[in-house]
Chain A
């Protein structure tokens, strides 16, 4: 049995079920309660877990617009053993909380030599939505995937949004859960199983092919699937590798694909220079050099602050056409 729904609905269902199962799981963030969330992931939660008239509801906690402070409160609660889910209205705002996430959450387990765990999920939309311009369109995935102590998940499909959120909530470590806003309305199926989980740190092959590996994550995996359709018309058989988890990174699945196809394009929405895709490229060339028939090519976001005008914005974000062009460069 499976259920059809959107990526947004799958996230909501996953979080709600985990909150029902475990009273120590709660969610906090700006406008998530009475206002039901800016991107409406927590629609209806205030009635289910709190009350509209209460000053505050601990399980569905509306916070002031003070990211650094409320993130720290979530981390402290996690250190005491609660399992908070911290929503950032956009991941761009998590920049205000970097000190708490990087210098506190990611360090406490090491600095206590394992005495204090920090089971917390930081989630929210990351990357460009639509014309939100320079300050609201950051892809922070690569920034976080740089930090030992964090796990970074970037699901591309509805089933993964559902199953990986459950794994993130169950994890005893701080997890960054990346939701590209362009994915919220994507439809798909999830298993009708409230215990369904997707293991952290496992990439997947979403389309098998023999000519070239398209390696990506989050919305870029959807772009790869579309590009693979276009390329099939040119007789190029693409394998789509959905990385899903940046940290830990399942290099084995990526390498096995590259060893089969001998060519790879890596796509990421983040700025091209220094983005996480560059890390994937580096690892492929370092560990699979003898298997490669061509250089590994990066397709990244343009190295500019995100412009407002829609035509310029679309220019910045990697598209199917950009991927197709990159494939043609090496094949």
Chain B
């Protein structure tokens, strides 16, 4: 576990409050998703980001939003929200409604917003990693000043195609930052049971790729370090392989009701002492930037905002039956009928 470092906070009160609001909004949004799922208004597979908020906030504040490419797996709500996708389009997609990012055809695992640089939203563990390298390849090919942030979970770090991609990212000098969101579990399998080496960050080294392990539970540090790495990648036109230590407090997916099969309640309680939101709140309080009253007011405001978004989505229709054939191709439909 990366130790939480002591450091001097130089960020402004306004900036810290923005971090806090972003993280808290994601948490409240995801908690709402869980409730929506339990109420039967969302189905399939749904994976929330509770506990990991500092990671996405730090990285999404380090990039040039709308210019740089971002791609991730199926735990994708937070990345979209932070890139500027309207929350009702994210929740609408989770609920399979017409107002969703893909008009209800993608679902929770497949949120996309290319206008804001977000390229999904992918369901095959590790399968999107070469796609992210391909986005970086396009930037390099065109001589653009863009990088790709290519997120994956610790489980994905074992997929063969990830190693194939690392080889080519280094060989072709691709401006791609591979970010492992190591929440310690590949679904229900603990890191020590799925990774022979346990230190995933070292896996970039054989490919001559800058490789590091960082703490993802401290948003201030995360943003500072991510900014340095993103700009290094942009300037050097080289890939980086960064393992971020984090933790998901929720189950793997909304259907994971058996967390005790792979971890104890005591372990979860200990992990809660590293809660990135509580940590930032404490840091801000120490600096005199935050009071309990103010925090509660923000929490109430954001809770109301999430409810307002939910009402919009719940009022949005499901897609029409005749839309089922739309957009399989850009210019035609397949053979129709059963």
B135 at the interface (CB under 8 A from A): yes
Of residues 195 to 245 in A, which have CB atoms within 8 Å of B's CB atoms? Answer: 201
Contact partner of B130 among A61, A75, A82, A110, CB < 8 A?
A75
Q: Which of chain B's residues have a CB closer than 8 A to the CB of A115?
A: 101-102, 112-115
Of residues 75 to 131 in B, which have CB atoms within 8 Å of A's CB atoms? Answer: 101-103, 105-106, 110, 112-115, 119-124, 127-131
The answer to whether B114 touches A64, judged by C-beta atoms less than 8 angstroms apart, is no
B61 at the interface (CB under 8 A from A): no
A249 to B133, CA, bound (A): 34
The answer to whether A248 touches B167, judged by C-beta atoms less than 8 angstroms apart, is no
Of residues 140 to 195 in A, which have CB atoms within 8 Å of B's CB atoms? Answer: 148-149, 151, 171-173
Of residues 164 to 194 in B, which have CB atoms within 8 Å of A's CB atoms? Answer: 164-165, 167-168, 171-172
Q: Which of chain A's residues have a CB closer than 8 A to the CB of B129?
A: 72
Contact partner of A72 among B123, B134, B327, CB < 8 A?
B134
A73 at the interface (CB under 8 A from B): yes
A125 CB to nearest B CB, Å = 23
B interface residue count range (under 10 / 10 to 19 / 20 to 34 / 35 or more)? 35 or more
A66 to B172, CA, bound (A): 14
A69 at the interface (CB under 8 A from B): yes
Name which of A99-107, A262-270, A304-312, A322-330 contacts chain B: A99-107
Q: Which of chain B's residues have a CB closer than 8 A to the CB of A78?
A: 134
The answer to whether B328 touches A104, judged by C-beta atoms less than 8 angstroms apart, is no
Q: Which of chain A's residues have a CB closer than 8 A to the CB of B165?
A: 69, 72-73
Can you list 8 A-B pairs with a CB-CB distance of less than 8 A? A64-B168, A72-B133, A73-B168, A76-B138, A80-B139, A82-B138, A103-B127, A173-B329
Which A-B residue pairs are the 7 nearest by beta carbons? A76-B134, A72-B130, A69-B164, A80-B138, A76-B131, A114-B327, A66-B164
Chain A residues in the interface with B (C-beta under 8 A) = 26, 55-56, 58, 61, 63-64, 66, 68-82, 99-100, 103-104, 108-117, 148-149, 151, 171-173, 201, 247-249
Chain B residues in the interface with A (C-beta under 8 A) = 69, 71, 101-103, 105-106, 110, 112-115, 119-124, 127-142, 160-161, 164-165, 167-168, 171-172, 326-332, 334-335
